Amino acid sequence: MFCGKCGRELEDDCTFCPMCGAKVNNEIVEETSKKDVIQNNITENNNTSATVTKNIVRKNGDNKKGIIVLAIIIIIVILLVVSLIIIFMNLSKQSTSNNETDATVQSAENIEPNQENILITYDGGSITQDRFLVYYKMFYDYLKSYGYTDEEIVDEIVLKTIADDMILNEAIKNNIELSKEEIDEIENTFKDEEYIDYIKNELEINVDDFKEVYYNDYKIQSYLEVLSEEATDDEIEEYIKSKYTDSESIDMTEYETSHILITDFDTAQDVLERAKKGEDFANLAKEYSEDTPTANLGGKYYVYDDGNTVDEYANTVFSMNVGEIYNELVSTYYGYHIIKLDAKNENARVNNKNERLEYVSDLFDNSAKNSNYKINEEKMDKLLNSIS
């Protein structure tokens, strides 16, 4: 007989297998053939081998998955690092750009003028030759066209530079800052090559000096608007009346009009007929008017008896009734106007933004005249001679 475990041939009276120590079952009636035992062992070994192979495959698969996961993690980390570097570089670039802009905006605040460059002094401040030169070249032709003599032009520009300097100093004290939109608008203006060429070759002004005055003017206008809004209606009414010798003849009415400006006569005539037939005036203005600022508002335009509106337009409005669309086109330097009078607001001229700004500007103009200013005549003569 044979051992049922290892297949060794045994003596008939064996109780234990001398090879593997397995107990021999002497009660087995049928002997197991050696071939069957060996086959069983092969099957068991194959099963064991298959199990081991599966474990090896599983382990190899697990290793591959681990490598893939690790690779993905490394890629993600690299991308994060690159992204952080790009963000940091952009922030640095933006910070540099902002610093440069801030430096331009604050140049008038932080840089003490060179004493040798000072041309005008006044109570509380001074004007450099560089700044006066920018103003002179900016306003000379304009004032000349209105009949000012060269001497009068110098006097006007001296007072203008002093008044603006006073306003700018007050604006700085009151923390008036330009908006991002205003700064972007200025910077975009100075990216225009044609404009830069005009400054250099036509005006013959140093671009940096001109840009500084440009920034200052934005801040000056911003502060004047604040002051004009703070002025009381009584102050504005008194100011308006002070411009007339006969206060009884003053028209304090605000005329609320809508208009459509078109340069082509035939188109203007056609739109006028459509408006008279009842088409929505505001929609027609938005579609056809070439006066873009008012077109976006449906043609809305306020008129006052202040001389700031062209006579043809103003005189037509003063003759109209509320709700009326003027029967004819009104021709002005700008083109053909279709005019509708929407309302007459009594005693509302104090709302006139132009006159409110004039009021606060005149306050500084008067301060400039009384500022005990002194001009270095020798430097002024040399400066003017260098221009001509």
- Confidence at residue 72, expressed as pLDDT on a 0 to 100 scale: 65
**What is the rounded average pLDDT of the residues 330-353?**
96
- Residue 58: CA count within 13 A, CB half-sphere: 6
Rg (CA), the chain: 46
What counts of helices (H) and strands (E) characterise the chain? 14, 7
Distance (Å) of CA 65 to CA 34, 85, 206: 46, 30, 68
User: 44 falls in which pLDDT band (50, 70, 90)?
Assistant: very low
Whether the per-residue pLDDT at 216 is higher than 70: the answer is yes
Distance separating alpha carbons of residues 79 and 73, to the nearest angstrom: 10
User: 116 falls in which pLDDT band (50, 70, 90)?
Assistant: confident
Distance separating alpha carbons of residues 107 and 197, to the nearest angstrom: 23
Q: CB of 341 within 8 A of CB of 359?
A: no
Of residues 19 and 196, more confidently modeled: 196
A 10 A CB-CB count for 317 gives: 23
Whether the per-residue pLDDT at 46 is higher than 50: the answer is no
User: 32 falls in which pLDDT band (50, 70, 90)?
Assistant: very low
- Confidence at residue 370, expressed as pLDDT on a 0 to 100 scale: 97
- Confidence at residue 114, expressed as pLDDT on a 0 to 100 scale: 72
- Give residues with Cβ within 8 angstroms of 160, minimum separation 6: 135, 139, 368
User: 387 falls in which pLDDT band (50, 70, 90)?
Assistant: confident
Of residues 315 and 49, more confidently modeled: 315
- Four-residue CA torsion sign, 18, 19, 22, 28: negative
Distance separating alpha carbons of residues 354 and 305, to the nearest angstrom: 12
Distance separating alpha carbons of residues 136 and 327, to the nearest angstrom: 47
- Strand-pairing partners, residue 16, are 23
- Interval 91-105: pLDDT, tens: 555 544 454 445 444
- Confidence at residue 374, expressed as pLDDT on a 0 to 100 scale: 96
Whether the per-residue pLDDT at 313 is higher than 60: the answer is yes
Pull the structure tokens for residue 365.
């103009």
- Confidence at residue 166, expressed as pLDDT on a 0 to 100 scale: 97
Whether the per-residue pLDDT at 86 is higher than 90: the answer is no
- Confidence at residue 66, expressed as pLDDT on a 0 to 100 scale: 57
Whole-number mean pLDDT of the chain?
A: 81
User: 50 falls in which pLDDT band (50, 70, 90)?
Assistant: very low
- Confidence at residue 39, expressed as pLDDT on a 0 to 100 scale: 41
Whether the per-residue pLDDT at 56 is higher than 80: the answer is no
- Confidence at residue 35, expressed as pLDDT on a 0 to 100 scale: 39
Whether the per-residue pLDDT at 90 is higher than 90: the answer is no
Give the residue among 223, 157, 231, 188 at the shortest CA–CA distance from 387: 157
Whether the per-residue pLDDT at 5 is higher than 50: the answer is no
Domain ranges of the chain: 116-236+370-387, 253-346
Distance separating alpha carbons of residues 55 and 286, to the nearest angstrom: 79
- Return the CATH fold of 253-346: Chitinase A; domain 3 (3.10.50)
- Interval 144-156: pLDDT, tens: 999 999 999 999 9
The angle that helices 129-145 and 207-230 make with each other, rounded to 10 degrees, is 70
Of residues 62 and 355, more confidently modeled: 355
- Confidence at residue 16, expressed as pLDDT on a 0 to 100 scale: 45
Whether the per-residue pLDDT at 115 is higher than 50: the answer is yes
**What is the rounded average pLDDT of the residues 342-348?**
95
- Confidence at residue 249, expressed as pLDDT on a 0 to 100 scale: 79
- Interval 197-211: pLDDT, tens: 999 999 899 999 999
- Confidence at residue 8, expressed as pLDDT on a 0 to 100 scale: 47
DSSP-based three-state secondary structure for 53? helix
Q: Output the pTM of the full model.
A: 0.65
